[in-house]
Amino acid sequence: MRSSRTPPGRSCHPPLGASGRPRRTRPIDTEPSALRPPRKGRGARVNPTGRFETARVEPDLDALADSIRLGVLTEPIDERAERRPAASESPAIRTEEGRLETRAIPDPSRSALTFNKSPDLAFDASLNPYRGCEHGCAYCYARPTHEYLGYSAGLDFETKILVKERAPELLRRELSAPRWRPQVVAISGATDAYQPLERRLQLTRRCIEVFAEFRNPITIITKNALVTRDLDLFRELAEYRAISVSLSITTLDGELQRELEPRASAPHERLRAIERLASAGIPTTVMVAPVIPGLTDAEIPAILRAAASAGASRAGQIVLRLPHGVRELFDDWLLHHRPLRRKKVLSRLASLRGGRLNDPRFGTRMSGEGRFAEQIEELFQLIARKHDLAPPHAPLSAESFRRPGGTQLDFFHG
């Protein structure tokens, strides 16, 4: 193996572990990508070196090829390592998923809410009960957040899930604090709060129980039909105009969806979830997100039509964005799942991003710019209006907020 160091002049700060000490730099991806087939049930095939790693290990391809040819190496190196978790990663829960398991790792975070002032988001506060996401969407913009934890944005993001076991208790403490100003909290900004682990752990549900008790408004976005499990709590919040739910639908093609979002709910299940939510009187939005130019943009009319038939009341769209290492991961996905579309997709995406595959600027990062971006938005708006999915915005209300033991007037008159 050949080790390459961080280039001189580059500032590289390794992430800290739970003890406050830097995590040990570990080798990642010791098997060449070309030799590894797509993994069933996983969006990424590889574990690229994180951008905060001070060193990386690269395979000696000639020696590795000889080892495989001679039968010395018969099992991918990274899979053998997966079965030997470090002591610091002792999982709270393990779920066997073939040869590559999902690990649930306790998250020692001391707060449930995070805050981010962003001019192109309609909220400042967010709640993410998990870090990482088992849905494994190949394009997920949140993948690079795992690099801050000393993990990879690739397979680690979807197989090593950090679980905020104390999130409900921490949330209660934060909402009870006098400094809390009632406001909309977005659930699932950097994860999916209804990913498969939630079915068993119910952290999201327990957090929503707290929001319902305080009558604090929330907005949820998910790709999982499990969201309908919490209809009883949504009905309670809806009485105070304190809930909205969005289902994200990227494609109606079941085969494409399974490859692109391997552990998210199937398209028809998400449409059924929209129907159940709408029938219960819950304001429900369909998000055509992400729109992947050259792959899914032609489905915009069909997705909006199906969502309107299911009862959605609003619609939105976001164009694919590929920050940091997601660029390489999504390119790898195209290469192995849609090689004939790869050139077209990347070319069209670059045309939206000023010749690059990602543009992080506020105001354009969600929509892109240029003529093709305008065409996507014009088509979306035309079809949305046709199906009555573009009504005037009805903001959620924090007027009924209350703290246990007090009244809703305590906040406004206290």
Nearest to 207 by CA among 159, 163, 263: 163
- pLDDT digits 0-9 by tens, 99-131: 578 999 999 999 999 998 776 667 789 999 999
Q: Is the dihedral of CA 303, 132, 44, 194 positive or negative?
A: negative
- pLDDT digits 0-9 by tens, 372-413: 999 999 999 999 999 999 998 889 999 999 998 765 545 444
CA separation for the pair 312, 379 (Å, rounded): 18
17-407 CATH pick, 3.10.20.740, 3.60.20.10, 3.10.50.40, 3.80.30.30 = 3.80.30.30
In sequence order, which residues have a C-beta less than 8 Å from that of residue 18 and are 6 or more positions away? 88, 108
Degrees, nearest 5: CA angle 287-293-295: 90
Which structure tokens are listed for 240? Answer: 């105070």
- pLDDT digits 0-9 by tens, 161-206: 999 999 999 999 999 999 999 999 999 989 999 999 999 999 999 9
What is the arithmetic mean of pLDDT over 280-299? Answer: 98
pTM: 0.81
Bridge-based pairing state of the strands 102-106 and 93-95: antiparallel
Nearest to 380 by CA among 322, 321, 314: 314
CA separation for the pair 76, 67 (Å, rounded): 11
Degrees, nearest 5: CA angle 135-19-196: 15
DSSP for 311-332, written as a single string? T--EEEEEE----TTHHHHHHH
**CA-to-CA dists, residue 65 to 56, 57, 215, 336, angstroms:** 20, 17, 61, 21
Domain boundaries, the chain: 17-407
In the three-class reduction of DSSP (H, G, I as helix; E, B as strand; rest coil), residue 234 is classed as helix
Tell me the β-bridge partners of 185. Answer: 125, 218
User: For residues 283 and 235, is the Cβ–Cβ distance under 8 A?
Assistant: no
DSSP secondary structure code for residue 42 in this structure: -
